[in-house]
């Protein structure tokens, strides 16, 4: 149903994309669009610690005492599949490079700093593992082939089936190099949805032939905020959009209809999180409401060098509002599938800032590659899973430096994460989730020392490395992998739900045909669909999604690779 104004609940990538398409394709004026949001970045953050506004952290850590940088997560790109994202970035100017669009900026940087990871897997006592040998046996190959060959029309057979369920008669799969690389590249867990794994296998099938080097990974010039979100913020403000921050939408008013099936928003309750005052916002017949109904960084908490990140038990701001809507109507999904199972969704990450390049140089020596080329995973030498297999302990991303525009020439920023935060460290005898920033660095040095034999081991430089640390910020994210949680297709609402007259859902918790979530691609696509719907633009005008799972050459290469 065509509208002429929009209220955006959330100012993350999906809703900002919707605003750009409304302006450029729908020919709306920017002042017809109003955002209500806690922040202007969603899950695409990255900033000096002094600019962080996390209430759980700042309550006990005065900002003037904080140094270094923090990013709760990181984003990798892939031009071949992220076609909607690149279309979006080509529509807005770069925030850091003159006379370039944000897409041209990214392509220019990436062409000069191509990814080729020579140390994708590292194992204690063995060093760099040859990841080109996927380690699959015939049973593994059979299961993967069935998954890839499953047509879209039969995808519902995987409703409420976990990856562990799907491979229940094939525990060998979870000890293969392929699983270690797939797990850490895309952040799947054994409890994750097999349905989502199938979508990744379809859309990223060509990664079979290059996953050990990550040559399909593209990266932005700087962190995700400065290279992706800031260009959007600048453009939308220049267009006259109203981006109202420190606002939390806490409740809905819906039109009361006899059958209770028409979904029409007539009002919103909006809390000013600075003053605590509620405001009632009327939604008239000419206004669309575009809602990002979940966030993987909701309820995240930060620690510091001497303090672990505390657990925040909140359900999640966006998910709480989604839950209220789903209680009104039968076809808006089931947020509990994603936000009531932390065992399947939680992570701990850290952002390490040093005042010199000693640690960076040590990682370069151990991995035999320069910064910016690698996503490195460290594998335990002993069984640590319920299946009795070794598994990944921790992963780090060594970005091209500088990763922030305000970084000093001598400073290094490294990001890492623990996919299973309640496992215990090998060098710090406590769960990762309980570690301080200092202890996480000590665990990292210990993990690196396992693959650094002979004289000059990195552990010999521990004191110098620790002395170089400006800060290390642990981040607990209870919902980081929630979008992969086991579910059925009906557990996520469609972008435009049936019977909705003025409400659309966007982001990583909506159901879109074929799209794989946890990508900048799916977020942008959802915003694009919402914008086209309310601007009256035919869906045939959407950016065309490539189908590599239909390409015979790609499938043949993948089949050959499975036997390496």
Question: What are the residue numbers of the active site?
Answer: 200
Cα 104 to Cα 7: distance, rounded to the nearest angstrom: 30
Residue 25 C-beta-side C-alpha neighbours within 13 Å: 25
- In sequence order, what DSSP letters do the residues of 105-126 get, joined into one string? HHHHHHHHS----S-SEEETTT
Cα 308 to Cα 436: distance, rounded to the nearest angstrom: 4
pLDDT at residue 62, rounded to an integer? 56
Q: How confident is the model at residue 116 (pLDDT cuts 50, 70, 90)?
A: confident
* pLDDT one-digit tens code per residue, 400-419: 899 999 999 999 999 999 99
Range of weakest confidence among 34-38, 385-389, 394-398: 385-389
Q: How confident is the model at residue 58 (pLDDT cuts 50, 70, 90)?
A: low
Helix 358-367 × helix 437-450 angle, to 10°: 30
Cα 326 to Cα 322: distance, rounded to the nearest angstrom: 6
Cα 553 to Cα 564: distance, rounded to the nearest angstrom: 17
pLDDT at residue 203, rounded to an integer? 86
Cα 508 to Cα 484: distance, rounded to the nearest angstrom: 10
User: 304 versus 130: which is more confidently predicted?
Assistant: 304
User: 383 versus 396: which is more confidently predicted?
Assistant: 396
Residue 70 has pLDDT above 80, yes or no: yes
Q: What is the mean pLDDT of the chain?
A: 90
pLDDT at residue 440, rounded to an integer? 97
* pLDDT one-digit tens code per residue, 74-83: 777 888 889 9
Residue 326 has pLDDT above 90, yes or no: yes
pLDDT at residue 535, rounded to an integer? 98
Percent of the chain at pLDDT exceeding 70: 94
Alpha-carbon distance values, 213 to 186, 359, 371, 380, 398 (Å): 14, 22, 14, 20, 14
Cα 72 to Cα 525: distance, rounded to the nearest angstrom: 23
Residue 133 CB coordination number (10 Å): 12
Residue with tokens 């000093």: 408
Structure tokens at 552: 């015979």
The answer to whether 416 touches 389, Cβ cutoff 8 Å, is no
Residue 219 has pLDDT above 90, yes or no: no
Q: How confident is the model at residue 118 (pLDDT cuts 50, 70, 90)?
A: confident
* pLDDT one-digit tens code per residue, 247-271: 999 999 999 987 678 999 999 999 9
Structure tokens at 465: 């490395």
Cα 425 to Cα 440: distance, rounded to the nearest angstrom: 9
Taking residues 158-171, report their average pLDDT. Answer: 97
Q: How confident is the model at residue 505 (pLDDT cuts 50, 70, 90)?
A: very high
Residue with tokens 């050990």: 212
In what side-by-side order are the strands of the sheet with 247-254? 247-254, 265-272, 278-282
Residue 322 has pLDDT above 90, yes or no: yes
- 207 in helix, strand or coil? helix
Q: How confident is the model at residue 425 (pLDDT cuts 50, 70, 90)?
A: very high
Q: How confident is the model at residue 386 (pLDDT cuts 50, 70, 90)?
A: low
Cα 452 to Cα 258: distance, rounded to the nearest angstrom: 70
Percent of the chain at pLDDT exceeding 90: 68
Cα 353 to Cα 332: distance, rounded to the nearest angstrom: 42
Taking residues 481-510, report their average pLDDT. Answer: 96
Cα 319 to Cα 298: distance, rounded to the nearest angstrom: 9
The answer to whether 3 touches 288, Cβ cutoff 8 Å, is yes
Range of weakest confidence among 102-106, 206-210, 243-247, 376-380: 376-380
Please, which residues have CB within 8 angstroms of residue 111's CB and are 6 or more apart in sequence? none
Residue 564 has pLDDT above 60, yes or no: yes
């Amino acid at each position: 149903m065509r509208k002429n104004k929009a209220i955006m609940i959330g100012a993350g990538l999906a809703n900002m994309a919707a605003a750009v398409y409304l302006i450029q394709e729908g020919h709306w004026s920017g002042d017809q669009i109003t955002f209500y949001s806690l922040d202007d970045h969603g899950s695409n953050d990255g900033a000096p610690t002094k600019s962080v506004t996390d209430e759980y952290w700042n309550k006990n850590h005065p900002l003037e005492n904080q140094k270094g940088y923090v990013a709760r997560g990181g984003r990798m790109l892939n031009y071949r599949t992220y076609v909607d994202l690149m279309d979006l970035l080509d529509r807005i100017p770069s925030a850091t490079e003159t006379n370039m669009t944000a897409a041209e900026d990214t392509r220019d940087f990436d062409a000069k700093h191509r990814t080729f990871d020579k140390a994708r897997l590292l194992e204690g006592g063995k060093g760099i593992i040859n990841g080109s040998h996927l380690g699959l046996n015939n049973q593994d190959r059979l299961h993967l082939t069935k998954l890839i060959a499953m047509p879209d029309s039969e995808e519902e057979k995987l409703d409420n089936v976990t990856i562990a369920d799907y491979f229940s008669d094939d525990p060998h799969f979870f000890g293969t190099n392929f699983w270690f690389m797939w797990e850490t590249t895309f952040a799947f867990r054994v409890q994750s949805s097999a349905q989502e794994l199938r979508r990744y296998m379809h859309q990223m099938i060509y990664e079979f032939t290059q996953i050990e080097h990550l040559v399909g990974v593209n990266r932005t010039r700087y962190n995700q905020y400065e290279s992706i979100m800031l260009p959007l913020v600048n453009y939308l403000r220049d267009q006259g959009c109203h981006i109202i921050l420190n606002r939390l939408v806490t409740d809905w008013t819906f039109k009361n209809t006899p059958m209770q099936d028409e979904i029409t928003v007539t009002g919103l309750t909006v809390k000013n999180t600075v003053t605590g005052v509620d405001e009632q916002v009327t939604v008239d017949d000419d206004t669309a409401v575009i809602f990002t109904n979940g966030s993987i960084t909701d309820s995240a908490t930060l620690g510091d060098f001497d303090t672990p990140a505390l657990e925040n038990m909140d359900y999640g701001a966006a998910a709480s509002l989604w839950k209220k809507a789903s209680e009104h109507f039968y076809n808006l999904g089931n947020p509990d599938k994603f936000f009531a199972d932390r065992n399947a969704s939680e992570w701990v990450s850290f952002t390490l800032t040093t005042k010199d390049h000693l640690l960076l140089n040590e990682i370069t020596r151990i991995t035999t590659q320069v910064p910016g080329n690698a996503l490195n995973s460290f594998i335990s030498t002993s069984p640590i899973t319920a299946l009795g297999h070794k598994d990944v302990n921790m992963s780090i991303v060594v970005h091209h430096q500088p990763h922030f525009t305000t970084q000093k020439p001598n400073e290094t920023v490294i990001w890492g994460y623990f996919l299973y935060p309640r496992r215990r460290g090998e060098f710090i005898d406590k769960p990762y989730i309980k570690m301080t920033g200092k202890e996480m660095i000590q665990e990292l040095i210990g993990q690196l020392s396992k693959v650094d034999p002979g004289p000059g081991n990195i552990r010999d430089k521990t004191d110098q490395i620790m002395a170089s640390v400006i800060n290390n910020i642990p981040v607990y994210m209870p919902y980081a992998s929630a979008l992969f949680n086991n579910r059925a297709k009906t557990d996520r609402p469609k972008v435009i739900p049936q019977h909705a007259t003025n409400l659309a859902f966007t982001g990583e918790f909506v159901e879109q045909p074929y799209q794989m979530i946890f990508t900048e691609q799916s977020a942008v696509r959802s915003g694009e669909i919402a914008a086209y719907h309310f601007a009256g633009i035919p869906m045939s005008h959407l950016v065309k999604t490539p189908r590599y799972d239909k390409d015979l050459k790609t499938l043949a290469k993948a089949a050959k690779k499975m036997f390496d």
